[in-house]
Structure 1
Amino acid sequence: MYVKAPPPADEIDLRELLASLWSERFLIVAVALLISATAAAYAFLARPYYEVRSVLHPPVLKALDELNSTGVYSLDAETALKRVGAALASYTNRLAFFKAHEEQFAFLLKTNQTFGQFFDDFNLEAFKMLQPDPKKNEGLSPYVGISFTYPEGVDGVRLTNDFVDFAITSERKKIVDDFATVVQNKLALVERRIEAERARYLSAKDAQVAKLLEADALERAQLQDELDALRNELRTRRNNRIAQLNEAIRIATSLNIRKPTTPNAMGEAAKAAQGNVIRTEVHNQEIPLYFMGTEALEAERDALEKRRSDDFTSPRIAEIQKRLRLLETNRQVEMLKQRKDKDEDLFLNGLDKLIGEAARLRGLKVDFSNLALVKVDQLAVEPIKPVKPKKLLILALGLVLGGMLGVFVALVRGMMRKSAPPTKRLAPLPQLPIQDNTQVAA
């Protein structure tokens, strides 16, 4: 007779396993219902969370044209969008805005928890930046947005739209401050250049005056030296002439020449003159001075000795004196010194352009209230249903997990029952004979 061998100890008998689970079917159903009921309680009793989003696109070019036309500050559309996106992602901006609306989150605060501590955790889960995927070049217009997940009881729609406006206003204020700073810096630079030009001009003017005065002093000294030398020369000539005249007077006196004469006339002086004679003499050599006679020589000597100045004898002295007289006053130096501050600006090269640039910078006015940094393409609207908890998913997961947990409990219980030692049966007690008391009595 063929007898089927029992399965090894390490193998699982599927039929026995199914039988064991079937025997524990009520336990499995009870555990599954308990977990499902717990999941259902959580799904229907947990605080619902909603999600809203706002999407921004770059502004049109004409919105930035007034700012860019100033020539001081330039801002393109994509940069404006990035700056607003950075403002939306800024933790400081988020904390400042939502702290101003702290009353809406008061019911979420735990005991002994500050709003800053609450917002640190809330910020990580509540906000999500929306941006195009850089790996996908779809050729669409760039955009930036923000997604806000909030619990029931919070006006998330108004907060989201107000926060977008807050970020735009905050970034616009930064641009206003940056614009004012750039204008002030450029204006300060232009004013420093104006002051530098004025200082350079004053230095150049002083240098020019010094050069002119130095040139006049040098020329005056040279002319004075020349005048002194000329006068010394004329004085020496006069003294030499007097000495020559004295010598000629002595010779003329010794020759008894009182009137001007000639050598030939002296030779024929003793001859009687007959008729009218016209004498013509041609000499290759200069006639000695003493032939002028003592009268003429003494007269010239006396005149020379009485002379107090020889300036009139040289035309050059008159020219020098004229030039010295002109050098006493330099009209160009006077005109340079008489220039006023306003008049001096007229002589600065390029100063008119700098003054014009400074006036333009002072007169720059931009209506920043009309400066559109972004185009709000999508405003946050009231959501139709919450994003969490997801009831159907939670119920399905509760049912599945409950069933799995029930099966697990049943299996564990079956294994524990199988591993328990079998109980021993007690042997029946022996039956004692029953005596008949009636017979004994008899």
Structure 2
Amino acid sequence: MNIPVNTINTPGHEVAEVKELIGSLWSQRAIVLLFTALTVTAAISYALLATPEYEVETFVRPVPLADLDELNESGLYKIRPNDALNNIGSSMQSYDVRLKFFQANPQFLAPLQAPGQSIESTFEKFNEKAFSLEKVDPKKSSSLTEAIGLSLRYPQGVDGVGILKAFTEFVVKVEKEKVAANLKTLIANRIENVEKKLESKKSAYEAEKDSKIANLLEKDKLKKQMLQDELKALRQQLQSRRQNRIKELDEAIVIAKKLGIVKPTTPSALGDGEQSHQGNMIRTEVNNQKIPLYFLGQAALEAERATLVTRNSDDFTEPRIDEIQKELNLLATNREAVLLKERDHPELFLKDFADIRGELTHLKQLSVNFDQFNLVQVDKDATAPQAPVKPKKALIVGFGLIFGFILGVGVAILRRALLSMHPSRR
């Protein structure tokens, strides 16, 4: 029985193989050098022929709070420096803002624009890798304040520095215009609200004034009607009193005629009328009882009756009638109501009119000079780069050298393997 014997490679055998491999590569050094030279040549050609790309950057930081005082002191629009910086950063990142910038400045993309190609298509390709925005957080960096860095990568022949400077100015201008438009809208809205408030107060005042006039006139009308009713009642009372007096006089005249009393007399004098008296006599009569009317005598009674019958008015006999007439005359015109109706400028009588007018004047005169301040400050302006960022010639040549050498070695090893399989081809 044959037992297989395992062959064990000794270190000496491996060393021999390595030496043989190195000798084989050395014998094929021309091939290795050829491939290395070819790849290095290709790398050098690419480094020399590739269009250089440059990169330029700019940094913007928040302005001091005092720079925004004029805007914030308006009382309508409040913005902090960091908010303004964030707004600028959002606009810089906005696709629409970038497109509008290049539409307004097509000369910047003219070197990249192919014949018949639209500015939008050119911008679409340029914008894919051109802009890069970075926000500097003071908590995560050595910077003491917040900042926004905008970098632009562009090929040779394009005015990258001009683009970045003009674009930064364009964004700041756009944001200023937005703030100005917002402030203008806020002022217009506030003026409209204050004017509506004033009109509302005017309407309320007019309604209150009309109500007051109506109340005054209604009170006067009621009082006038009550006085007229009282006057009518008094006149009826006086007329009834006169008629009753005439009837009393008629009865007294009849009695006086029967008693033969023609002239005024007294009960005592009537009893002693037929007695004779000697000498001078003074008659004094003391009587607590009312003397009947017929003792006035027929003549006096008939005279009074005739006067009462021909009387046209009894008003003079009652002092209250004069008072009523006086009050009616005073009620003919309500001076307070007349003055209320004659007011030409009702707003002058409004309680808060001075404050409202002052606020309107302030709003209409409110204006902010946006040319006097900036929303952000440019901390580092765009400057021309010293060298391109692409292509990195030394790195490309180095990689070409390494790749060419590895490729040449690989070809040499493959060639040795093929020759070892077919010894007759050596």
TM range (shorter): 0.7 to 0.9
The whole-number CA distance in structure 1 between the counterparts of 2:175 and 2:327 is 74
The answer to whether residue 375 in structure 2 is matched with residue 370 in structure 1 is: no
Q: Does residue 285 of structure 2 align to residue 280 of structure 1? A: yes
Post-superposition shift, 1:93? Answer: 1.9
Task: Name the counterpart of 1:99.
Answer: 103
User: How far apart in 2 are the matches of 1:268 and 1:310?
Assistant: 40
AA in 1 matched with 2:198: I
1:125 positional shift: 1.0
Q: From the superposition, tell whether residues 204 and 19 of structure 1 become closer, same or farther in structure 2 (CA, over 3 Å).
A: farther
Q: Partner residue of 1:75?
A: 79
2:331 alignment partner in structure 1: 327
Matched, 1:127 2:131: yes
Aligned ranges 1:286-365 → 2 under 5 Å:
286-341=290-345, 344-365=346-367
Aligned to 1:390: 392
User: In structure 2, what is the equivalent of residue 428 of structure 1?
Assistant: none
Distance 1:206 1:22 in 2: 122
- Higher mean C-alpha displacement, 316-325 vs 391-400: 391-400
The equivalent of 1:235 in structure 2 is: 239
Superposition deviation, residue 289 in structure 1 = 2.5
For residues 188-267 of structure 1, the aligned pairs below 5 Å read: 188-267=192-271
Q: Distance in 2 between matches of 1:314 and 1:409?
A: 149
Once the two structures are TM-superposed, the CA of residue 47 in structure 1 deviates from its matched residue by 1.2
- Say whether the 8 Å CA contact 2:138–2:146 is kept in structure 1: no
Deviations 1:31-52 (A, max 9, x none): 4544444333323321111111
**Cα distance change, pair 259–104 in 1 and its aligned pair in 2 (3 A):** closer
Offset at 1:171?
A: 1.5
Kept in 1, the 8 Å contact 2:263–2:299? The answer is yes
Shift in alpha-carbon separation, 1:31–1:18, aligned structure 2, 3 A: farther
Letter in 2 for 1:227: L
Name the structure 1 match of 2:149.
145
Relative to structure 1, the CA distance from residue 307 to residue 153 in structure 2 (aligned partners, 3 Å threshold; closer, same or farther) is same
Report the more deviating stretch, 318-327 or 19-28. Answer: 19-28
Following TM superposition, by how much is the alpha carbon of 1:306 offset from its aligned partner in structure 2, in angstroms?
0.8
Is this contact kept in 2: 1:21–1:410, CA < 8 A? no
Aligned amino acid, residue 390 of structure 2:
K
Partner-residue secondary structure (3-state), 1:131: strand
Q: CA deviation at 1:159?
A: 1.4
Change (3 A) 1:304 1:7: farther
Cα distance change on mapping 1:181 and 1:321 into 2, 3 Å = same
Q: Distance in 2 between matches of 1:266 and 1:408?
A: 182
Superposed displacement of residue 311, structure 1: 0.8
Name the CA distance, whole Å, in 1 between partners of 2:52 and 2:129: 14
TM superposition shift of 1:346: 2.6
Q: Which runs of 5+ in 1 are unaligned?
A: 424-442
Match of 1:435 in 2: none
1:180 aligns with 184
Structure 2 CA distance for aligned equivalents of residues 22 and 60 of structure 1: 74
**Aligned-pair CA distance for 1:85:** 2.1
Displacement of 1:21 after TM fit?
8.0
Preserved CA contact (<8 Å) 2:131 2:150: yes
Structure-1 separation of matches of 2:217 and 2:35: 116
The number of equivalent residue pairs is 414
Amino acid at match of 2:384: E
> Could you give the per-residue CA deviations for residues 355-393 of structure 1, whole angstroms, max 9, x where no partner exists?
222222222333221122222111111111111222233
Helix, strand or coil at the partner of 2:48: helix
Contact 1:55 1:143 in 2 (8 A): yes
What is the CA–CA distance in structure 1 between the aligned matches of 2:404 and 2:390, rounded to whole Å? 21
1:64 aligned partner: 68
**Per-residue CA distance 1:310-357 (angstroms, 9 max, x = gap):** 11111111111112112222222332333334xx34322222222222
- Structure 1 residue 134: deviation in Å? 7.1
Q: Is the 8 A contact 2:99 2:123 kept in 1?
A: yes
SS in 1 for 2:83: helix
Q: Whole-Å Cα distance in 1 between the matches of residues 416 and 219 of structure 2?
A: 126
Q: Which runs of 5+ in 2 are unaligned?
A: none
Distance verdict in 2 for CA 1:259–1:183, change over 3 Å: same
- Provide Cα deviations, 1:235-262, integer angstroms capped at 9, x if missing partner: 1111111112212222232333333334
The residue type paired with residue 338 of structure 1 is E
Same amino acid, percent of matched pairs = 41
**What is the alpha-carbon distance in structure 2 between the residues aligned to residue 331 and residue 388 of structure 1?**
95
- The 1:65/1:39 distance shift into structure 2, 3 A limit, reads same
After TM superposition, the score normalised by the length of structure 1 is 0.82
AA aligned opposite 1:85: G
> CA distance change for structure 1 residues 83 and 33 in 2, over 3 Å: closer, same or farther?
same
| Per-residue CA distance 1:253-301 (angstroms, 9 max, x = gap) | 2333333334344334344345414323232x43332333322222221
Secondary structure, aligned partner of 2:174: helix
Query: What letter matches 1:173 in structure 2?
Result: E
RMSD: 3.2
Provide Cα deviations, 1:191-240, integer angstroms capped at 9, x if missing partner.
33333333333333333322222222222222111111111111111111
Query: Kindly tell me: are residues 273 and 35 of structure 1, through their superposed partners in 2, closer, same or farther at Cα, counting changes over 3 Å?
Result: farther
Greater shift, 404-413 or 375-384, is seen at 404-413
